[in-house]
Amino acid sequence: MKSMKTFLIAGLFSFGIGMAGLLLQSLPAMAQPAQKYEDEGKKIVPYVPTPQEVVERMLELAQVKKGDVVYDLGSGDGRIVVTAAKKYGVRAIGFEIDPERIKESAENIKKAGVGHLVEIRQQDIRTVDLSPASVLTMYLLPEVNLMIRPNIWTQMKPGSRVVSHDFDMGDWKPLKKENIKDGSSWDHTLYLWHVEAGKK
């Protein structure tokens, strides 16, 4: 059984000792989601592209519809936001720190003809204001998910949908958990949450 989760976690070793401090930062981040980070502007998650069939299912799971605004944290080559705009006709914004991925995203957006709907912003994902988003997609890491979680609870509107690829968010129980295989028989786990009013 092949798991993309195992592959992604293995990629952490290439990040060296600096990643060890990331987990420690997640604790104060829980209490102060707007804080500044010493490593702000640096890559904190290795780039592992989500297979297109998994992208499609993530958006289906979120029940994306007209009028939604989709945010993708760590948007890579832009495939999630491009697919959201092309398939559902919604506004979609990706947040990415790597200039090479941003350049690649711009090319993909142009090729798909969705430049009027899609935007890529070069920004540390931990500092993004999530309040405009009604749908949030993520393929991050467990400790990064926990750093983002307080922002989700305090900034996103009740009823907003959050979908995470492969990693949960600690003791925040998902509304739905789904296991799927991609075309290469790799296993993927998708988690869906609905943001609740007054969640802390």
> DSSP string of the chain?
-EEHHHHHHHGGGGGGGGGHHHHHHHHHHHH-TT---TTTTS--S---PPPHHHHHHHHHHTT--TT-EEEEES-TTSHHHHHHHHHH--EEEEEE--HHHHHHHHHHHHHHT-TTTEEEEE--GGG---TT-SEEEE---HHHHHHHHHHHHHHSPTT-EEEEES--BTTB--SEEEEEE-TT-EEEEEEEEEPPTT--
* Position 80 in a domain: yes
* Position 60 in a domain: yes
* Position 124 in a domain: yes
- Domain containing 51 equals 2-194
Tell me the C-alpha to C-alpha distance, in Å, between residue 100 and each of 78, 121, 140, 190. Answer: 12, 13, 18, 27
Q: What is the total count of domains within the chain? A: 1
Q: What is the model's pLDDT at position 43?
A: 74
User: For residue 74, what is the domain's CATH number?
Assistant: 3.40.50.150
- Rounded CA gap, 94 and 77, in Å? 9
pLDDT by position in tens, the chain (length 200) = 555 555 454 444 344 334 434 433 443 333 334 445 444 556 788 899 999 999 999 999 999 999 999 999 999 999 999 999 999 999 999 999 999 999 999 999 999 999 999 999 999 999 999 999 999 999 999 999 999 999 999 999 999 999 999 999 999 999 999 999 999 899 999 999 999 987 76
Q: What is the model's pLDDT at position 41?
A: 55
Query: Alpha-carbon dihedral of residues 167, 170, 176, 180, nearest 10 degrees?
Result: 20
* Position 189 in a domain: yes
* Position 199 in a domain: no
* Position 181 in a domain: yes
* Position 136 in a domain: yes
Closest to 150 in 3D by CA, of 15, 50, 9, 27: 27
- Rounded CA gap, 96 and 118, in Å? 13
Cβ–Cβ under 8 Å, residues 119 and 147:
no
* Position 200 in a domain: no
Closest to 165 in 3D by CA, of 50, 67, 2: 50
Q: What is the model's pLDDT at position 74?
A: 97
